[in-house]
Structure 1
Amino acid sequence: MRPEVTAFFDEATNTVSYVVKDPSGSACAIIDSVLDFDYASGRTDTRSADAVIDHVRDNKLDVQWLLETHVHADHLSAAPYIQQRVGGKIGIGDRIKIVQDTFGKVFNEGTEFQRDGSQFDRLFEEGDSIMIGQMRGDVLHTPGHTPACLTYVIGDAAFVGDTLFMPDFGTARCDFPGGSSEVLFNSIQKILALPDETRIFVCHDYKAPGRDEYAWETTVAAQKAGNIHVGAGKDRDSFVKMRDARDAQLAMPRLIIPSLQVNMRAGQMPPADEQGDVFLKVPVNKL
């Protein structure tokens, strides 16, 4: 089955969100939605999410799933906002519990913050499947960037999150807590074992040097042949050496502090105080 895929690119965070539709009906899933956030003012906006909602309503789609490939460190999820307006169950990998435990400590969340994944409607394990109308989606556990990373294989399309970028840009960083370049290499091999014609949809694009346009769709065959980090038969040891050296030079993502606090709560803000005000924490010398 070949799902109908509509992409929404948020240039502020270089994030691609997707509406994935059953070609035989109106059922769809939304993958990796974005809540706009201005760090300087601490203000949220829903422009990106509203564009997705408008598409859903204009095309009379039935949103069945709001899927997260992982706990993003570079943008805030809009899943609860979208869910309130057009429905759908929010799903993520079951290793979210590891991420919640790790960053619950980093942000000193205390015992009131549940670390059992209960903020989400569904936690997925390797080999799980879902239905989107008559269209089946299969779950691959593809950690390395984070412990909870998933790839959703829906028909002939694979939504890989940050695990892979476009072939000319390479692969995900592995220096966040719980990340591992060796684990990432093994996860990528699972994706590259899919049929060559499988369409791969990435979660981010930054326009590799020499490329003028943003891009987010490629294939397994193109990744195997040309990915600058893992393609053309590159071995695990050389990848690990390259990835670890590269990660040591990378700065933290601009929105990592608000993103982690919100996304580990399934897109919800931290609880408000007695006056109804919401605050995010800034851990000092912890990231």
Structure 2
Amino acid sequence: MTLQLSIKRSLVAATAVTMLFSLSACAKSSQSGTSSSSSVSSTSNRSNQQKVAKLFKKAQRQIENGQNDEALTTLKRAQRLDSDNAKVNELLANVQNYLSAKAALNEGDTSTAQSNLSKMTSEQTKNNALTSQAKDLNTQASQLKQANTLYQSAYDAVSNGYYETAKAKLAQLNALPSTVKAIKSLQDQGKALTNQINANQNSSSTSQNASSNATNSSSSASTGSLSDDQNDSIIQSFQSAAGITAQTGMSFGVSQIGTNEYQIEVRQSNSTNTVGSLTGIYRYNSQTGSVSKLNTISGKYESN
């Protein structure tokens, strides 16, 4: 009985030792697996970091070559590999703001262009190429603002008959660089204004010649000079027949060119009464009430 008990105890001890060795082996195996997994992850991270660094440098080279659209694509690839990379994220944002500013400027939107440029952060100062391009773009935005002002000034001058002033403004507009699409468009519109100025000046010359000829004709066909009362009466009846309402600064020059036939020049002075621009030359028959106006292009009188 004692021998059997001793054998049993030996078996139990042997079993316990076997189990202990087995558990120890499992623990070592588990630790080895964890270490291996951690090593793979670390290797993958290092690989991604290297790829991101290469992509970042590639994007910088592309920016230096003016390939900003391509740089944007490259930086987006780098961001997908490492979304937390501060340098990549900042340069990507700056390139996006630059491209948005450039697009806005080409559409003539200087406010949006300058707003996007102002969003470019400190990373810009670390990339000389992008800094230089942003400065150039800001200069172009300022030039476009100037172009808008010059064109509007020229347009207003033409509208008010100040043709020499308009020409000077248009000359300044044409001196600006036409590399910006919106500036080129304004310069093209300026050419149309120049054509209008030339046409108006030619018309004015025609009007003056017609007026001179009419005055010479009136001298030979005149039935006599008009008294002040006759002059006032003719002007009043002419205004009524022509549908012209007297305004401040408006003047009427009346010449008799035949029996009941008159030529009337209508002029309008500016706010300081220093310039009396010709608004029309008319023929008026006081007996029939008929009114015709000189067409300064054709040189003929047409029914009013």
Q: TM-score range by the shorter chain?
A: under 0.3
Which structure dedicates a bigger proportion of its chain to helix?
2
TM-score, normalisation: structure 1: 0.20
Structure showing greater Rg: 2
Higher relative contact order (CA 8 A, sep 6+): 1
TM-score, normalisation: structure 2: 0.20
